[in-house]
Amino acid sequence: MPHIRLILQDDEGNPIPRAEERIYQLQGECETLDQIEQATEKFKQQALPEIEHSLLARAQERFVANARGEKAGPPPPAS
């Protein structure tokens, strides 16, 4: 069964601290376009909320650390 492995990384390719590698098994055969579409839609519904949670938690840690004058991970990229 095909699977997707996700590792959250910063802009320099380093794994984000406390963001675990996640492996998602794709459901179904994944042999036809319809099966692939269904499997990827289920993947998105499962994975995206988890990824968003990890990124928001990291941003919140940085915000709190900045408010306290502490250092919390690398600074966000300059715009």
Whether 30 is covered by a domain: the verdict is yes
Q: 16 Cβ partners below 8 Å, 6+ apart? A: 8, 9, 10, 54, 58, 73
pLDDT for 19? 81
Count of domains observed in the chain: 1
Separation CA 19–CA 45 (nearest Å): 19
pLDDT digits (tens, 9 = 90+) for 3-61: 999 999 988 998 988 788 999 999 888 999 999 999 999 999 999 999 999 889 889 98
H helix runs in 3-79, sequence order:
33-68
Separation CA 56–CA 59 (nearest Å): 5
Whether 79 is covered by a domain: the verdict is no
Whether 75 is covered by a domain: the verdict is no
Separation CA 73–CA 8 (nearest Å): 14
Domain residue limits at 47: 3-66
